[in-house]
Structure 1
Amino acid sequence: MAAYKATLPDPIQNERYNIALAADMLAGTVVQPGEVFSQNRCVGPYTQARGFRAGPTYSGGRITTTTGGGVCKIASLLYNVAVLSNVEIVERHPHSLTVPYVPPGQDATVSYGTYDFRFRNNTGGPILIWAKNTGDTLYMAFYGQKKPPRVRWHHETLRDIQTWTEYHYNPTLPTGSQRVVMPGQAGIVVRSWITIETAKGEIIRKDLGVDSYDPSPRIVEKGPRA
């Protein structure tokens, strides 16, 4: 039906581990006609008891560490493959910051008990989900009985939001020196839609809404003055 892949630049070891674990849990899942798939129900809860480790998570416009950090990459690829398969999206939430592995407007975040990614199988036949993480790249595909129409993503940037610099004093640094702790990143407001080409050559536009991503500051530590 559709497939998607994404590479995560410079993942930490636990993040890579969590993504691979979640992909293995997801692989082989069959979604029956009319059934609503839920990532949290299929893969969660993202706890140590289920084998997940502490990994990076976006929270309040900053990067923190929580158990299961990294599983949002699973949600983002599920979202992309579901959209390209032209199934009904029931629930999807964007990150607070842009992510490096999919374009703005094409990501999805999950948090067990709060945010989920869900889609309804409206194809009339079962859907088999395949997923595999190899190295730093996650691969995902949906297999079904019907070939979906051709679907294309489109985005329009409505506003760019600049980052800023915060300076923090660190008495342990050498006199007169400074170091960049966080590089910071710009924010963006983006409108997303898809075009669906039917078997008759008709082009149908489907709006997916507007997502707003916050900027995060560039953080610089400064040592004592000379």
Structure 2
Amino acid sequence: MGKFKKTILLISLTILLSNNVYSISNQTKYKDLIKSSDKISGEVEFIINTIKDRYDIPEVSGEVTNMPWRNDKEFLKAKEKYNTPILIAGFCAVLKNPLPGEEYNVNLAARKAKGLVIKPSDTFSQNSNIGPYTKSRGFREGASYIGGNIIMTEGGGVCKVATTLYNLAALSNFEIIERHNHSMPINYVPYGQDATVAYGVKDLRFKNTTEDSILIWTEMIGNRLYMGFYGSEKPPKITWNHEIDKITLPSTKYIKNEKLAPGETKTVLNGMNGATVKSTITITYSDGHYAIKNMGTSHYQPLPQLIETN
């Protein structure tokens, strides 16, 4: 086969697969059609494997459907073992400008959640399944919101796992038993969609209201936390609604940093407005009818802007 024809074939195959013209099974058939050309079979197989392993890489946090572990052997084995063939909800939390210690603790908490199974009618508790968030269990100090301040605590950052689990539970239309919002707003999900935990004080708990087991799978890639719930039946479509009221502007706090040049300033944390937020979800069923579920009211103090100066 000439170089020109070879290039056209590879480009055409890439376009077809990237546009999802062919399912995975048809991709395999397409590979079989060009097996006669030994010179390009390796390149074609590489393209097919690359397309199969593609996953969503969102710029902002939200629902995702193409997960990075789709072809992972451990995941496929667990999915078969617990009879959970369908992704019922997927979410990716994009962690913007993580504070010290957060990424490590988020990654560790996510690994502890990976492979957990929620049986029918059982209530999942983050504190019971992932906590306590102590050094003896591998957690480090990380930034936390406490009493309107940002301080370093053991396990600081695990609330990002709680927030992701909360959004998955909402997308799955599970019953929320316990959820607490942060004292100040966070920058990686909309107001009203966050959840915080503090071992022995605040927990995230939700009930598996389906008749089948739910498998949890997770992976941290860079600053993106992927989590998915797997079961046997797709839930109805879920849409968040938020009514924001009583907005309070943030203050500015200055911190001395002698490492900066004289007169130099550096913004460490951008401020965010305080607010009261009433949240609901719209549940749209396959036959077209819908229902509104109250998800509670969240109260946030303003997050101050932090500026280092010398």
Do Structure 1 and Structure 2 share a fold, with TM-score over 0.5?
yes
The number of residue pairs the alignment matches comes to 222
Residue 221 of structure 1 and its aligned partner are, at CA, apart by 6.8
Match of 2:14 in 1: none
Q: Residue 169 and residue 6 in structure 1: after superposition, are their counterparts in 2 closer, same or farther (change >3 A)?
A: closer
User: Of Structure 1 and Structure 2, which has the larger fraction of its residues in helix?
Assistant: 2
CA contact (8 A) 1:187 1:216 kept: yes
**Bigger shift: residues 64-73 or 211-220:** 211-220
Residue 218 of structure 1 and its aligned partner are, at CA, apart by 3.6
Return the alpha-carbon distance in structure 2 between the equivalents of residues 196 and 61 of structure 1. Answer: 34
Q: Which amino acid aligns with 2:163?
A: S
Does residue 45 in structure 1 map to residue 125 in structure 2?
Answer: no
Stretches of structure 2 lacking an aligned partner (at least 5 in a row) = 1-87
Q: Which amino acid aligns with 1:2?
A: A
Does residue 207 in structure 1 map to residue 283 in structure 2?
Answer: no
Stretches of structure 1 lacking an aligned partner (at least 5 in a row) = none
Return the alpha-carbon distance in structure 2 between the equivalents of residues 219 and 14 of structure 1. Answer: 18
Does residue 116 in structure 1 map to residue 116 in structure 2?
Answer: no
Does residue 165 in structure 1 map to residue 257 in structure 2?
Answer: no
SS in 2 for 1:41: helix
Residue 10 of structure 1 and its aligned partner are, at CA, apart by 2.1
Return the alpha-carbon distance in structure 2 between the equivalents of residues 51 and 211 of structure 1. Answer: 31
Match of 1:96 in 2: 183
CA contact (8 A) 2:185 2:303 kept: no
Residue 95 of structure 1 and its aligned partner are, at CA, apart by 0.2
SS in 2 for 1:76: helix
Residue 141 of structure 1 and its aligned partner are, at CA, apart by 0.7
Match of 1:36 in 2: 123
SS in 2 for 1:103: coil
Return the alpha-carbon distance in structure 1 between the equivalents of residues 150 and 227 of structure 2. Answer: 26
Q: TM-score, normalised by structure 1?
A: 0.90
CA RMSD in angstroms, aligned pairs only: 2.2
Q: Which amino acid aligns with 1:114?
A: V
Q: TM-score, normalised by structure 2?
A: 0.66
Deviations 1:142-198 (A, max 9, x none): 0011211111111111121111235678999988x4746654332121111000011
Does residue 58 in structure 1 map to residue 140 in structure 2?
Answer: no
Does residue 68 in structure 1 map to residue 169 in structure 2?
Answer: no
Q: Residue 171 and residue 144 in structure 1: after superposition, are their counterparts in 2 closer, same or farther (change >3 A)?
A: closer
Match of 1:81 in 2: 168
Which of 133, 144, 151 lines up with 2:231 in the alignment?
A: 144
Return the alpha-carbon distance in structure 2 between the equivalents of residues 8 and 55 of structure 1. Answer: 14
Return the alpha-carbon distance in structure 2 between the equivalents of residues 149 and 157 of structure 1. Answer: 26
CA contact (8 A) 1:178 1:220 kept: no
Give the share of equivalent positions with the same residue, in percent. Answer: 47
Match of 2:83 in 1: none
CA contact (8 A) 1:55 1:67 kept: yes
Residue 11 of structure 1 and its aligned partner are, at CA, apart by 2.0
User: Of Structure 1 and Structure 2, which has the larger fraction of its residues in strand?
Assistant: 1
Match of 2:240 in 1: 153
Q: Which amino acid aligns with 2:203?
A: D
Q: Residue 136 and residue 145 in structure 1: after superposition, are their counterparts in 2 closer, same or farther (change >3 A)?
A: same
